[in-house]
Structures are given as C-alpha cells and as structure tokens.
Structure 1
C-alpha cells in the first residue's frame, strides 16, 4: 500500500493540478502547485512507516522547508530576467538546497515554525521583481508530449527517494525536503520557456500566495497528528487548506474582474470626453 502511495498519489495530484492550471491560467497554476500535493503524501507515508511522532516532527520541520521554497521562487524569478530556464533552475535549486541543509540543523516548535514560514513568505512576496520590468515575453507554443509524464516521474522520484531514506535522514531533514520545489520547478521552467519572464513572475507570485495555505496544512498536521491520529489530522488539514485556497482564488478572480470593469468604465469615459471635444470643435 505504501509503495502504491509513493508511486501514484503525488504524481496523480501533480498532473491533475497541472491540467487545471492550463485551463485557468498562470496565477491559478501557481496557487494549485502549492497545495500539499507532494509534501502531503511524503508526510503521510512518513507517519504510516515511522509513527505519528516522527510525522509530527517532520511536519514541523517542513514549515522551515517552506521558507526555502519561498527563497526558490524569488531566486528563480530574478534569474528569469537574464537566464534561460536551465540556468535559472540551476541557480534556484542550488540556493534552495543550500538553505535546506542549513535549516535542517534547526529544530523549532510548530508555532514558531508557523510564524517563520509566514514571515518568509511575506518577505519573498515583496522581494519578487516588478512584473512590468520583465523582459523576453514569448508567444505560447504547444505543450510537449512528455510534459505531464515528466512531471509525474520527477514527483514520484522525489517521493520515493525522501520516504525511502527517511530513516537515515531523520524527521528534520525529511520534513525540510518534503516541500522541495519539484512541481513548482517544472511549472516555472515551462512558463519561462514558453512565455518569458513576465508570465513567470506572475506564476511565482501565485506560488507565494498559495504557500499560506500550504503552511496551514503543515502546521495542523504537526500539532494534531500525534493527538488525533493520521486520518483525522490529515483530513482536517487538507479540508482547511483546500477551502482556503478556493476562497483565495475566488477573491483574486473577483478583484481581477473588478479591475477590468473599472478599466472599461475609464476607457468609456475617456472616449466620451474625446468625442464631445471633437463635436465642439
């Protein structure tokens, strides 16, 4: 059963979120890939294989892993202005892995981890490059046939590797590596290759917004799984996270619709004033 979870659960979730993101756009993609579609299965398998105490400690450490994931988003966004996707990915992964090694040496309670994760996400959001300053916008091209299989294979590889080595890694490193940006990397790399830096920054802005829900998931698992058990803790954490992400998407869409409506009204007023001036002349 755990082998099937390793091979199928996270890859299926990554593919599903990728398809949904293609349907609704870059920022939605950014939010969807920050659902616990990879870290959730890793933490679940850790609980099933090593017990809830191990899982709770790993979930607490994964909050620090979210700080390094936010760092990845910032580094990739800035690199996307000057580098192709391969170079941007290499630099961002190097920064993320170095930060993972450092934060894995630190053990903090889940409450402090929650505060550090939220502070890191807020700082990363402010550190992103301005969207208007991006360069290199390219027209969209068809997705290659190997895109979805590649995402699924990369996800399965990470899940199998981390969960197989979890006994040797310990709960701290297992938790820190659980949010490693596999799905985010694939999405960001393809967006940069297909659309350029401007769309990449928009996508990563959505990633950082979605990390708030991811943070809540890890925190709830950390504080509840050893008390309530695996089923209850993961069910509640997932329900709260999904509800929060859906609410956030609705709010963003409503704001976007409102801005478009205001621009149309302003354009209509400007056109009417210009027509009136022309008639008077």
Structure 2
C-alpha cells in the first residue's frame, strides 16, 4: 500500500489532466491522492485516535497548500520552474512548521480552509491569454518521476509518524507533491499563463479535500478505518464531480478556441 497506492493515483490523475487540460488538472491534483493514503496508512498503523487527530491536522495543511499555490502563481511570472518551486516550497514548509503547533476543532479548521480557498482564488494572478498549450509529449520519465516522488513522501511521513506525532503527520500529509510536479511541467512547457490556468483550479478543488479530511476525523473513531475512508471518499468524489462540471461548463461558455488550440486538442495524448 505504501509503495503503490498513492503513486498509482498520482499517475492516473496526471494522465486525466493531460487529456482534459490544465484547469481540469488543477481540480484533479486537489483530490486527496497523496494525503488520503498517508492518513489511511497512519490510521492502520497507529490506531483510529491517532488517525483522527492526523486527519484533523490535515485541514491546516490545506492552508499551507493554498499558500504554495498563490506563491507559485506569482513566482511563475518572474522565475523559471526550479526557482518558483524553491520559493513556494519554502513558504509551504514555513507555514507547516507554524501550523503544526496549532490545535483547532475540525469545524473551525474547515472554515479556515474555505476562507483561505476564497482568498487564494482572488490572490492568484489572472489567467492571461497565452500561447496554445504545447502538444509535445512529456518525456518518458515524467510519470515514473511523479510516482517515485509520491512514494518517497508517503514512506517518509508514515515512517516518521511515531516520532513527529499526529499533528505534524497530518499537516505534512497534503504537502504539494502532485501539485508541484503538475505546476512545474505547466510552467516549463506553457509558460506562466499555462501554470496559472492550472493553479486556478486548485482552490475550488480543495473544498472536497477539506470535506474528506473532516469526515475522516469525525468517522474513524466511530466506524473504523475502512468504512470511514469509504464514506469520506464517496462524498469527496461527489464534490469533485461538481467542481469538474463547473470547470468544463466555464470552458464551454468561453470564447471559441483558436485553430492552434484545436490542433492541440486533437493531438493531445489520451
């Protein structure tokens, strides 16, 4: 489970994002494809009480993830992807270090995430028109690199859970591995406009993520790991389906695509 579950989910969401474009990719990377497996493994290894506390702290980790999104969006306009990642990771880790010391009731944390998502959506740069997304296929090592990075994060966080405690484990669980890779590739291939278009899908997608963490925190002590995670995942998928429908509706209502973009759409890998 540690080696396969999260990496396979990241690979699947990456392929779906390539198929349907940057805004949809932004919603998909906001699924708990990394944090969910970390929380499940933590719950199975350390018990439901530990897992519930970690899930509650994961809500605060979403605030750090939103900070990463805003910082990367602005850094992308001035820096290449290594510099943008370095600045964004530094901001995210600094926020994680502070939030790991905070203890809030889950409902208060959810409210904080919703307010932070609203602020992040407005703090991001505008999705300015840019060149049509590149039709070039990613290098062969793209998906393996994403899977390896995801597996490494899962192993590190779950392996250190006993030492760092449930609060730090939960705050680190949503660390933006999948978001970082997708944003960096969007910036490298399509420039700042492509990266911003992708990132603008993340704040809305995190609403479902927050609901997932809240349900796990509340249900694990009562139902056990698998029923609680199953119920949380079902609700999360329903929320994300609504978010994806909204994104696709906005795209359909937008201006007609240019001939170059139509060419890209036909050439995009499935």
Q: How high is the TM-score relative to the length of structure 1?
A: 0.88
Matches within 5 A, 1:8-23: 8-23=4-19
Structure-1 separation of matches of 2:21 and 2:132: 16
Deviation, structure 1 residue 109? 1.1
Kept in 2, the 8 Å contact 1:217–1:241? The answer is yes
Matched length: 256
The whole-number CA distance in structure 1 between the counterparts of 2:211 and 2:44 is 21
- Hey, what's the Cα distance between the residues in 2 that align with 1:58 and 1:175? 4
Out of 248, 254, 257, the residue aligned to residue 249 of structure 2 is 254
Structure 1 range deviating more: 181-190 or 109-118: 109-118
- Which residue of 2 is the match for residue 275 of structure 1? none
Determine if the alignment matches structure 1 residue 96 to structure 2 residue 107.
no
Alignment of 1:1-281 (within 5 A): 5-132=1-128, 139-260=134-255
**1:31-53 deviation per Cα after TM superposition (whole angstroms, max 9, x unaligned):** 11111100000000010000000
Deviations 1:115-146 (A, max 9, x none): 111111111111001122x7798744320110
With 165-174 and 208-217 compared, the bigger mean Cα shift is at 208-217
> Computing the radius of gyration over CA atoms, which structure comes out larger, 1 or 2?
1
CA distance in 1, matches of 2:148, 2:25: 19
Q: TM-score when scaled to structure 2?
A: 0.92
Cα 1:250–1:137 shift into 2, 3 Å = closer
Correspondence for 2:267:
none
Secondary structure in structure 1 of the residue aligned to 2:37: helix
RMSD over aligned Cα, in angstroms? 1.5
Q: Is the 8 A contact 2:18 2:25 kept in 1?
A: yes
Q: d(CA) in 1 for partners of 2:132 and 2:187? A: 9
Give me the whole-angstrom Cα distance separating, in 1, the residues matched to 2:16 and 2:107: 33
Gaps of 5+ in 1: 262-281
The structure in which a higher percent of residues are helix is 1
Whole-Å Cα distance in 2 between the matches of residues 194 and 259 of structure 1?
A: 23
Corresponding residue number in structure 2 for 1:278: none
How much does 1:209 deviate? 1.5
User: Residues 206 and 138 from structure 1, CA distance in 2 versus in 1: closer, same or farther, beyond 3 angstroms?
Assistant: closer
Preserved contact between residue 121 and residue 200 of structure 2 (Cα < 8 Å): yes
* 1:251 CA displacement: 2.4
Q: Please say if residues 35 and 213 of structure 1, whose CA atoms lie closer than 8 Å, have aligned partners that are also in contact.
A: yes
Q: What is the rounded CA distance, in whole Å, between the counterparts of 2:199 and 2:189 in structure 1?
A: 15
- Rounded Cα–Cα distance in structure 1 between residues aligned with 2:16 and 2:133: 22
Any stretches of 5+ residues in structure 2 without a counterpart?
Answer: 257-270
Q: Note the C-alpha offset of 1:254.
A: 2.2
